[in-house]
Amino acid sequence: MNETYLLTRPEHDDTTYYLSQWVKGTVEYAQRKGIKVIDLHRQRARKQEVESLLESQSPKLVVLNGHGDNDSVRGHNNELLITAGQNESLLASKIVYAISCSSAKSLGPKSVSAGAISYIGYDDDFIFLYDPAKFSRPLQDETAGFFLQPSRLFIESIIKGNAVSEARKKCENMLKDTLKSLLGGNRSDASIARYLWWDLKHFVSHGDADATI
C-alpha cells in the first residue's frame, strides 16, 4: 500500500484540543499499516500549508478536525481552510471526513461536484460532551469517548481498507450500541444519549459509498 493520509489537528480551544487528542491515535494506526501520514498539528493546520500539501502530496484520505459551518471547515485559531466556492476543488480525488459542525450540508456536496470521491461529515452541529475533571487526560474521559471513539473507528476502518459504506456502518453500529446501553442507565446517561442520537441522525456521506483508499 502506498497511500497518503492527511489530517488537520488544530488545538486552540477545548473542542479542538479534544478532537486533536482523540484522532491522534489514528496516526500511529496508519503508520503501522504502511500509510504515509501528514499530521498538521496546531500551527501547521493553516490554510497555506493545507492547500500546498493537498495539491503537492495528493493524499487519498483527508480528515479535517475543527470548527465548521455549512460552507467551510476551519483550522488553527479558526483560520478558514476549505471553503465552498473558493478551494473545494483541492479535495478532488480524495476521501474526506470532516469532524466539524455542519460542513456536510453544503461544502460536502459541492466538494463532490468538484471531484472529491466521497465527503463524510455532519449536516448540522457535531456535539460532544466531556468531563472537565478529565480535561488533562482526554483519552481517559469516558464521556467524551462515547462521542469520539466512533469517529476514530470510522477513520481506522477506512485506513484498514473498508469501503466508505462499511466504515460508516461500523461507526453507526457503535453509536447505536452505546445508545442502547446508556438508555438503560440513569437520567444523566439519558442526557448523553440524546446528543449521541443527534450526531447519529446528522452523520451523512456524499459521493461514492463504495470507495476505498
Q: Which residues pair with 9 in a beta bridge?
A: 41
Q: What are phi and psi of 129, to 5 degrees?
A: -105, 155
Give the tens place of pLDDT for each residue, 76-114. 999 999 999 999 999 999 999 999 999 999 999 999 999
Query: C-alpha dihedral over 169, 39, 36, 128, to 10 degrees?
Result: -10
**Entry pTM:** 0.96
Q: Please check the confidence at residue 1 and state whether its pLDDT lies above 70.
A: no
Q: Please check the confidence at residue 148 and state whether its pLDDT lies above 60.
A: yes
- DSSP H or E stretch at residue 160: helix 142-160
**Mean pLDDT along residues 136-157:** 97
Given pLDDT bands bounded at 50, 70 and 90, which one contains residue 209? very high
**Mean pLDDT along residues 126-146:** 96
Beta carbons of 93 and 87 less than 8 angstroms apart: no
The C-alpha cell of 53 is what? Answer: 500539501
Give the tens place of pLDDT for each residue, 51-83. 999 999 999 999 999 999 999 999 999 999 999
Q: Please check the confidence at residue 186 and state whether its pLDDT lies above 70.
A: no
